[in-house]
A and B are shown apart, each in its own frame.
Chain A
Amino acid sequence: MSIIEAQRMQLAQHRPKTSAWQRLLKWGGVNYMFILPALIIYVAVILLPILRGIDYAFTDWDGLNRTINYIGLANFQRMIGDIQVRSAIGTTLIIAFALVAIKVVFGLLLALVVDSNLKTGNYLRIVFFMPVVLTPIIVSYMWKYIFSNQGPLNLLLNLAGFESLRWLGDPTIALISVIIVTAWQSVGLSMVIFLAGLQAVPPELNEAAVIDGATPLKRLWFITLPLLAPSMTICVVIALIQGLRFFDQIYALTRGGPGYATETLSTMIYRISFQFGEFSYGAAVALTFSLIVALIVLPVMQVLRKREIVHG
């Protein structure tokens, strides 16, 4: 066998192999190097840690021990009897649904008003949106002062001839105060989402309706609102997820108090895992929490999406 022949043989042997590899490389359509860094980061930083966290929910780890024992469903059984967790679930749901209602109603109203022919419309939208970008923990400390016994809010009440209110000290009012702060900070977000939706409403539709003699209210109900359905979906879903997850405001304002009146699942998980050091129990509560979020958010998305199709 001559050297050249040998080389040719080698090449022939290699060719199908190389091309299979190349075919695989080509199969995706784009160089895999584009997606590789993202996949690595995503798997390493998000996926694997979460899977490991789920694993912890079935152990007795306290964050300190060097040995970890599997204890089956014991953490979940304990949770069923835990009044604090149950009350936190209730509080979380109340806050989440209250926030959804407030943000959708007021966000929509603001969007409609700001989008009408007001001269100050542009300034108004800036004012109502501004709190959205501000740091929640910092804004919450500011509100803590506003709510304090001799703070501005009670001063104003007194000036108007009313008694001071226990803004953060009464279980019911404290819950409302926390909702006020969060709504204040995020209603502007709903507003701009609805505003973007309003841009998509073709003016001809409204003009035609005016010619047909439809009242403004009817136009709102039969033309604008149905066309805003996609914005509505986004708004509700974002408000719901935010409402179920928020943490900073409670950390700064009440730390869950008085008693457990404003303790939500996210502050509860923080407390269990990091202040009691019961990491595995915290993981079990977190896992349950995310199931609850999924159980609420996914059906809501389904319902809203259906509405979109019917009207759109």
Chain B
Amino acid sequence: MANRRYTTRTFALEAAMVVAAIIFIFPIYLLVTIAFKERSTWSLDPMAIPLDPTLANFQRAWSDAYLGDALISSIVVVTGSLLVLTFVGSFAAYFLARCRPALSNTLYLFFLLAMILPFQLGLLPLYQMMRDLNLLGSPVSLIVFYAGYQLPFTVFLYTGYIRALPRAYDEAAKIDGASDFQTFLHVIFPMVRPVTGTVLILNCVFIWNDFMTPLLYLQGSSWATIPVAVAAFVDQEITDWGIVFAALLIGVAPVMLLFAILQRRMMEGFAGGLKA
């Protein structure tokens, strides 16, 4: 572009933005540093860099908040939900993208209903259904919930992409004698890998972070997920913020790590994925 020279004004803007970014990220700095401070340190000066970091807070938080159990629980729920969502979602999307347009449009609207209807209304009846199926208190209940709740979004994401793929691929495979399923699994599914990445990232972040559903569904079971376990721990009236922050930090560390590895993909995913 013509006006892309780096002028003093650009430098001033850059400097201002860097300052703004530092202020913006300051809470995260606090989150990380206070977790390494003893009470005497953080209560005097919460903002200083911990020169004498302690790991004691993490030990306390890890054992008192049962974060080990919660971590396993969260991983089981996220993995299970992602597996179901990816396969059921992409299969359905293939159908929507390749079936008769009239049918496709009808089904599209049908799935869109979920976005308009309030899911809070369904929380309790669904809970009763889980009970009847004997799934309560197990992570399966949450996997089933997320498989349903995130399904329309997942289907829309896949459908848009598969529609754009030329039908010539399918037809070539069918001429070679492949069944619908073989065509999908061996030809289409590998080609939609970028969407699968987006589906995995967005759903993973959403499910990992969700608080209200596991709060209601896994209470009193040994399967509390990370957000529920952390909230229960912080709510039990602890006066040592160092320990609280250690629990908070352990709780967000997995998503932070994921973000550190995949920042580009995640930003693209969020920008593009939510359009679906």
Contacts and interface: CB of A to CB of B under 8 A. Distances in A.
A contacts B directly (C-beta below 8 A): yes
B274 A234 contact: yes
Contacts of B149: 45-46
B209 A50 contact: no
B107 to A, nearest CB: 7
A134 interface: yes
A118 B244 contact: no
A305 to B, nearest CB: 13
A143 B30 CA distance: 10
Given A44-B148, A134-B252, A152-B47, A28 B95 contact: yes
Nearest to B6: A117
Contacts of A33: 181
Interface in A113-141: 113-114, 116-120, 123-139, 141
Nearest to A193: B271
B125 A53 contact: yes
B27 to A, nearest CB: 6
A184 interface: yes
Given A35-B107, A45-B144, A138 B230 contact: yes
B263 A129 contact: yes
Interface string A24-40: 00011111111101110
Nearest to A294: B116
Contact of A28 (B100, B181, B252): B100
A31 B107 contact: no
Contacts of B129: 44, 48-49
B122 to A, nearest CB: 3
A50 B118 contact: yes
Interface stretch (B10-18, B53-61, B191-199): B10-18
Nearest to B129: A49
A251 interface: yes
A245 B125 CA distance: 20
A138 B251 contact: yes
A196 B184 contact: no
A286 B27 CA distance: 34
Nearest to B21: A127
Interface stretch (A3-11, A73-81, A84-92, A267-275): A267-275
Given A34-B184, A195-B271, A41 B99 contact: no
B255 interface: yes
Given A45-B147, A247-B212, A289-B118, A38 B155 contact: yes
Chain A binding surface SS class? helix
Interface in A211-268: 211, 216, 234, 238, 247-248, 251-252, 266
A70 B27 CA distance: 50
A27 B118 contact: no
A133 B266 contact: yes
Given A44-B148, A142-B30, A290-B121, A37 B92 contact: yes
Contacts of A304: none
Nearest to B248: A138
B215 to A, nearest CB: 9
A286 B120 contact: yes
A135 B255 CA distance: 8
Instruction: Classify chain B: how many residues form its interface, as a range.
Output: 35 or more
A273 B17 CA distance: 45
Nearest to A129: B267
A141 B113 CA distance: 34
B234 to A, nearest CB: 5
Contacts of A135: 208-209, 211, 226-227, 251-252, 255
Contacts of A54: 121
B141 to A, nearest CB: 10
Contact of B3 (A27, A130, A142, A210): A210
Contact of A192 (B14, B122, B271): B271
B125 A52 contact: yes
A158 to B, nearest CB: 12
B117 interface: yes
Contacts of B184: 34
Nearest to A265: B120
A102 interface: no
A141 B230 contact: yes
Contacts of B6: 117, 119
B231 A28 contact: no
Interface in B12-36: 13-14, 17-18, 21, 24-25, 27-28, 30-31, 34
A142 B245 contact: yes
Interface string B131-165: 00000000000001101110110010000000000
Contacts of B25: 127, 130
Given A49-B126, A247-B211, 4 more contacts: A45-B145, A50-B122, A137-B209, A290-B116
18 contacts: A28-B100, A31-B95, A35-B91, A37-B91, A38-B89, A39-B92, A46-B114, A49-B126, A53-B120, A56-B125, A119-B6, A124-B21, A133-B259, A138-B248, A142-B248, A152-B47, A155-B46, A286-B121
A-B CB proximity, top 7 nearest? A45-B148, A53-B121, A49-B122, A38-B92, A290-B118, A52-B125, A196-B271
